[in-house]
Amino acid sequence: MKIIDRLREDKIHISFEVFPPKTDEGLDKVIHAVDEIAQLNPAFISVTYGAGGGTSKNTAKIASHIKNDLHVLSLAHLTCASSTKDEVRNVIGNLKKLGIENILALRGDIPEGMKFPDTNRFRYAYELVEEIKKHGNFCIGAACYPEGHVENEHKSDDIRYLKQKVDSGVDFLTTQMFFDNDIHYNFLYRIREAGITVPVLPGIMPITSAAQMKKSQQLSGTVFPRRFLAILDRFGSSPAAMRQAGIAYATDQIIDLLANGIKNIHIYSMNRPDTAAAIMENLTEIIKS
């Protein structure tokens, strides 16, 4: 089944994201976390590609396990900046062989010290989307940035590039994490005005520690609202309290999104089934309504 078909259903869908281990030795631990998350009945589980594409083989293994062993829809991430065109084509072929129907097409971070762009690599995500389209009937997702991509100075350029990417064959979009829902609502208004009509899944990151917040800000450049900073200031030194407060904050974001008519939510669960389960427990009756 393709994710786009699920997203078109008139019901609430909650999905989760996991990431592969840095080494093969850590695969069993990740598989165990995935097995627990699958018990929460997610709409799908996405698997990231790993920093620099170095864990791509485990992305395919985990995505295959989710689909073929757990019988849950899986979404395999695929980045192109760190891999040659032939390497990308090999990955697409392997995913097809494993029966993976859904790919999230990303440019990805440029590895430090690498000359980029070069003629043997895809430069933009839309080029990767076009390549995936050549290899079969995949459902293709892509990323979007409610606060603007860090490499684009003007938001108008950001939306213009996003439109180009969607027009290349993207079926749905998933946002980078954000912590102020008004930013998301404003973003939706602007992209709809630009003619981007595909489903957009808001990406929610439960921040459960001060260190996680710092890392998230470094990676994404996201803005933390004053309300969240107050939570961090008050509870950041107590791991148990900060975990509970972070889960509550993420739950509150999700409830507000659902109350405003958004039915598809993607949670960056960070291989933490306990965090994913706590959020789902807070939503049991809301999801049914």
Bridge partners of 203?
266
Q: What tokens were used for 222? A: 């996201």
Of 84, 219, 278, 69, the residue nearest 267 (C-alpha): 278
What is the rounded distance in angstroms from the CA atom of residue 107 to the CA atom of residue 162? 13
Q: Strand order of the sheet with strand 200-201?
A: 200-201, 172-175, 139-144, 102-106, 74-79, 45-47, 13-18, 264-267, 203-204
Catalytic residue among 17, 101, 131, 147: 17
**Phi/psi of residue 102, each to 5°?**
-125, 125
Q: Which residue has the tokens 């999230």?
A: 104
**Close Cβ partners of 270 (under 8 Å, ≥ 6 residues apart):** 17, 18, 19, 205, 206, 212
17 is catalytic: yes
Catalogue the active-site residues: 17
